[in-house]
Structure 1
Amino acid sequence: MNIAQRLAQYTCEFASDGLPEEITSLVRKRVVDSLACILGAYGSDPVESAIIVASTVAVDSSSVFGTTLRTTPELAAFANGIMVRFLDYNDGYMGLEPGHPSDNIPACLALAEAEGASGKEFISAIVLAYEIQMRLQDAASLNKCGWDHVNYINVAMAAAAAKLMKLNPTKTEQAINIALSSHLAMRQVRSGTLSDWKGCSAANAARNAIFSAQLSRAGMTGPSPIFEGTMGFFKQVTGEFVLDVDSFGNRSNGNYAIQRSLTKTFPTNGELHTAVWAAIELSAQISDLREIKTIHIETSEFNKRVLADTSEKWRPKTRETADHSLPYNVARALLDSNITLESYSLNKISDPLVIALMDKTTVSEDILLTKLFPKHLANRVTITLVSGEKFVSEMISGPGSLETPMTDSDFERKFRRMAKPHISNAAQNRVLEFVVNLEHQTDYTPLFKAMSVT
C-alpha cells in the first residue's frame, strides 16, 4: 500500500472510544488551552473578516465562537481556527518541522457538531489528527524547502474529517489525496514582514481538508499516489521520507504523539520562550537597562534562520512580525519582565526604549544549541554593560515543556485570564465544566452559548 492508503487504513482502524484516561486528560487540557486562545482573539481584525465571510452562508450546521452565527463546517472551522492561532498562544511541537497540532481542534469541533458526533468521537478525532500531523513533522522538513508547516494539516485534518464523517478506507484515502495535492502553502507566510495570514494559514488548511473530505464522501477521487508519484509530494516538496504508520500510537502500544506536544506560557513563538525566560532572569539582575552596551543571543540554526532572519525582526511593524522576532521579545522581556498580549500593541512595538535595545542586539547560531534542537528549544542571552560587566542566562527548557508541563491549574488560570474581559465568571465555570465532561457530551450548543460575549 502507498502512504495515503496506509494512513487511511490507520484512520479507519483508530479507536473511537476506549482511549486511556491519560490521553483523554491531555485532550481536555488542549481543549481548555484552545478555548483560552479563542477568547483572547475575540474582536481581532482577521477574526472579524472571517466572521463576515461566514455570515454570508447561513446554514444550521456549525457554530462560530463569540457569535450566534451558524454556518457550514468548513467556514466555522476557518473562523474558529483563526481564533485559536491568532495570538500564537496555542500548543506546538517541533520535529524536523515545527507546527501547532491544536490547529486541528476547532475543525474537529466544527465537524463533530455538524455530524452529531459524540464527545468520545470528537476526542478520538483530535488524538488522530495530532498523531498524523506530529508524525509527519518528525518525518521531513517543509520550511527548509520553502513550504509552510500547515501542509501537514492538509493530511492530518483530512483524516480526522474522514473519521468524523465515518468514511471507509477508500474514501478516506481520496480525501487525503485531494487535500494534499490541491492546497500547498508557501513558507513566505512566515518570512519578512508577517501579515494577517500568518495566523490564518493553518485554519485555511483545515478548511480545505474538510472540503476535501466532503468531496470524497460525494464520490470525488484525487491524484494517486500523492506522496510517491512521479509528480507527487516527495518529488515536488520534501524529497523521499519514511513514514512507519505501523508504529503510530494505538491502544496496544500506548505511544500517542499528543503526549509530546508542548504548551505555552507566553503568547509568542514557542521556540523563543526560553530566550524570554532568560531575559526575565537577567532583568532582575540589571538595575539600569540604560547601562547595557550589547545584547547577544545565541540560539539554534532554526531560530536564527526563522526568528532573526531579516531586518524586519529588528524593526517589527506588525504584531505577527513582533511575536516571531528574537530581538524584540528579548528586549521587551528585559523592559517588562514579562510577555503579555499588550507586548505586541503598536505602542509597545514602536517604543523608543525597545528600539534602542534591539539596536544593541546581535544573534548568532551556537552549534551546541543546534545539536539540542528539536528536543530542547534552548537559548542563551549575554548582556554586556558599559562598565564591561557581563551577565549570562542560558535556558534549556521552561514551563510548558515535557520536563515541566503545565498543570490543570495552569490551564485554568490561562483560560480565566483570557476569558475575564469577555464572559462572566459563571460562564467560565460552565465552559470548564463542559470540558471536564467532554467525553460524555452529545450536544455542543452549551459550550458555544457559554463562550458568547456578555
Structure 2
Amino acid sequence: MMTSMSRSKIFNLKKTNIFLSRYSTLQTSNERPNPDNVLVDIANYVHNKEITSLTAYQTAKLCFLDTLGCGLASLKYKQVQDIIKPIVPLNISQGVKILGTSHQFEPIHAGFALGTMFRWLDFNDCWLAKEWGHPSDNLGAILAVTDFLNRTENRKFKMRDVLENMIKAHEIQGIFALENSFNEVGLDHVILVKIASIAVVANLIGLNIQQTIDAISHAFVDGHPLRTYRHAPNTNSRKSWAAGDAISRAIKLAFMVKNSNIGPMQSVLTAKNWGFYDVLFNGNQFKFNLKFNSYVMENILFKISYPAEFHAQTAVEAAMKAHTLLTNLGKSYKDIKSVRIRTQDAAMRIIDKSGPLYNYADRDHCIQYMIAIPLIYGRLTAQDYHDEVALSNTDIDTLRSKMYCVRDDQFTKDYLDPQKRSIPNALTIELNDGTILDEIVVEYPVGHKFRRDEGIPLLLKKFENHLKDHYQKEPAHVENILKISYSKKFESVPVHEYLDQFWLNK
C-alpha cells in the first residue's frame, strides 16, 4: 500500500521531470538573433513613413482639439486635481505646462498628468476592433515631450509635428487592435498606449532606428496591467489613469535608452519560453491585415453626444429616442415592463452588468445604467455617473433590473467588418399594459466616419463649450485660443507657444 509520503515523492518527481522537460533546451547559443520583425516595422514606420493623407491631418486636428477640451473638463473633479499632483509638490520653471492648471512638470510626470486628464471622462475618441482603446491617450506623451524639448533644448516642434505623431501613434495602436485581442488573455489595452507612445517619443527625442527598436523591446517586456479594474466586481477609477501610467513608463524608458544605453532585447516577442508570445499571448504571434499608414486616424470614432463607453453610444442615442417616443405617447419610464437590448459581442463582454454599482467607474461601464438615465431624465452627462444622481433615485436601479442584453451575430459581424466598423444597438420596450413598441435601431453613432459631416460642427461646439466652461471668467482669453486654434497658420505654431495659452500662471 502506497503511503502519503511515497505519493508525495512521486508527485514531486513528476513536477521536477515536467520542469526539466520544459526547460532542458534552454542552454542554446547565446548569439543574438535579428530583431523581431514587429519591432523593425514599428521603428521604420515612425522614422521613415511620410504621412500624405489630408484627411488624416484634418481628422487629427479635430482629435487634438477634442482631447484638449476633454482634458480641461476633467479638472472640474477633485479626484483628477489630486491624482495629477506630484508626490513631492515641486514645479519646474522650464517644465511642461499642464493645460488648465498652474503646474509645470518634468516630462515623465507631465505625460502621466496629461494622459490622465485626457482619459478621465471617457469622452474623446475611441477605436474598436478585436481590442478596444483610445489612441488619443498617446497625445499626453507627444505634448509632454515636444513641449519639454522646445523649452529646454530650443527644439522647433510645431503643431504640425504634433498632428503627424498623433497619426502615427493612432496607427500603431489601432493596427495592433484590429486582429490582436489582449483582453482575451486578461491584459489591458493600455499596453498598446505604451508601445505607440514609446515609438513616437523615441523618434522625437532623437533615437536612431536601432535605439528605437531597443526602446520598443523594453516597452514589451515591461509589466503590463490586468484588465480587472475595468470589469465587475472590481471596476474602479484606475481605468481613468491607466493610460497616464502607461505614458509615463513609455517616456521614462525612451529617455533611459537615450541616456544610458540600457541595451536591446531583440527577440522580446519570439524568445522561446521567456518571450512575450509564450509567456503572455498563449504562444500566438501578432497578426496584421494592414500595413502602417494612416487608416486609423482616418476612421477614428469620436464621442460627441454622450460621455459613455463607446459600445453603448448608439444604445444611449436609441434611449433618447425612446424617451421622446414615450413622452409623445403620454407615457414615461414608469410604464416600462422590460427593455431588450440587442447588441454586439463586445458590449456583452464589457458593459453588460447587473447588481449594485459602487462608483463612477462602475456606472459609466454599465449599459443598463447608460440607458436608464436617458429613459428617466432625457439626458446623459458626466455628472449623472456620480453619487449625487445615482443614489438620489431608486428608480434607476429598478429600471436597470428590467433590462436584459441579447447577443446579435450580425451586429457583431458588422462591428468587426473593416468596411463598416459599426457599433449597433437596438432597444425593444414592452410596456406594463402589454404594448410592445417598435424596435429602435441605431447602427452608427454620430461620431462615426459615416456621419462625419453631421459630427464635425458638433465636435467643435463641444470643444468650445469646454473652453468656455473652464475659462468662464475670461471670455477674451477663450476667443484668443479659438482664433489660434482655427487659424490657417495653426500647424506652424510652436508647441510650447500654443500650450502657453492654456496655462494658468498664478
1:57, 1:72 within 8 Å by CA — same for their partners in 2?
A: no
Alpha-carbon distance in 1 for matches of 2:111, 2:469: 24
Answer yes or no: is the 8 Å Cα contact 2:426–2:442 preserved in 1: yes
Given residue 356 of structure 1, which amino acid in structure 2 is its aligned partner?
T
Q: Which runs of 5+ in 2 are unaligned?
A: 1-34, 151-156
**Aligned mates of 2:289, 2:410 — CA distance in 1:** 32
AA aligned opposite 2:185: C
Stretch deviating more after TM superposition (416-425 or 196-205): 416-425
Question: Counterparts of 2:456 and 2:318 in 1: how far apart (Å)?
Answer: 25
Alignment of 1:411-426 (within 5 A): 411-423=459-471, 424-426=474-476
Match of 1:50 among 83, 89, 100: 83
Q: Which amino acid aligns with 1:143?
A: N
CA distance in structure 2 between the partners assigned to 1:223 and 1:130 by the alignment: 25
Q: 1:108 aligns with which of 135, 142, 149?
A: 142
What is the aligned counterpart of 1:32 among 65, 71, 79? 65
Match of 2:478 in 1: 428
- Displacement after TM superposition at 1:379 (Å): 1.0
What is residue 376 of structure 1 aligned with on the other side? 422
1:243 deviation in Å? Answer: 4.8
Query: Which amino acid is the alignment partner of residue 413 of structure 1?
Result: K
Per-residue Cα deviation, 1:77-111 (whole angstroms, up to 9, x for no partner): 11111111110101001121001000011210111
Give the TM-score, by structure 1 length: 0.92
Residue correspondence of structure 1 range 51-450 to structure 2 within 5 A = 51-53=84-86, 56-59=89-92, 60-116=94-150, 117-192=157-232, 193-218=234-259, 219-230=261-272, 231-239=274-282, 240-244=284-288, 247-249=291-293, 255-265=294-304, 266-286=306-326, 287-309=331-353, 311=354, 314-350=355-391, 351-374=393-416, 375-391=421-437, 392-405=439-452, 407-423=455-471, 424-436=474-486, 437-450=489-502
Tell whether the 8 Å contact from 1:142 to 1:237 is kept in structure 2 after alignment. no
8 Å contact 2:97–2:499 — kept in the other structure?
A: no
Counterpart code for 2:475:
N
Matched-pair contact (CA < 8 Å) for 2:423–2:445: no
Answer with 1 or 2: which has the greater Rg: 2
Identity %: 23
With over 3 angstroms needed to count, the CA separation of the structure-2 counterparts of 1:315 and 1:428, relative to structure 1, is: farther
Q: 1:330 to 1:228 in 2, by over 3 A?
A: same
In terms of mean alpha carbon deviation, does 223-232 or 185-194 score higher? 223-232
CA-CA distance at 1:245 after TM superposition: 9.3
Deviation for aligned residue 1:399 = 0.3
In the alignment, structure 1 segments of 5+ residues that lack a partner are 250-254
Check 1:99–1:331 CA distance in 2 against 1; reply closer, same or farther (3 A cut). Answer: same
The TM-score with structure 2 as length reference comes to 0.83
Q: Retained in 2: the 8 A contact 1:154–1:183?
A: no
Residues 99, 502 of structure 2: 8 Å contact kept: no
Change (3 A) 1:415 1:366: same
SS at 2:470's partner residue? coil
TM-superposed CA distance for 1:206, in Å, is 1.0
CA RMSD after TM alignment: 2.1
Q: Which amino acid aligns with 2:367?
A: L
- Equivalent in the alignment of 2:3: none
Q: Which amino acid aligns with 1:234?
A: Y
What CA deviation, in whole Å up to 9, does each residue of 1:189-214 have, x standing for no partner?
20124212110011111111111110
Which of structure 1's runs of 4+ aligned residues deviate more than 6 A?
Answer: none
Task: Report if aligned partners of 2:323, 2:332 keep a CA contact under 8 Å in 1.
Answer: no
CA contact (8 A) 2:84 2:116 kept: no
In 2, Cα distance between equivalents of 1:416 and 1:135: 31
Contact 1:174–1:221, Cα closer than 8 Å, also in 2 = yes
Instruction: Read off the aligned partner of 1:52 and give its amino acid letter.
Output: K
Deviations 1:17-46 (A, max 9, x none): x74432221111011100110111014244
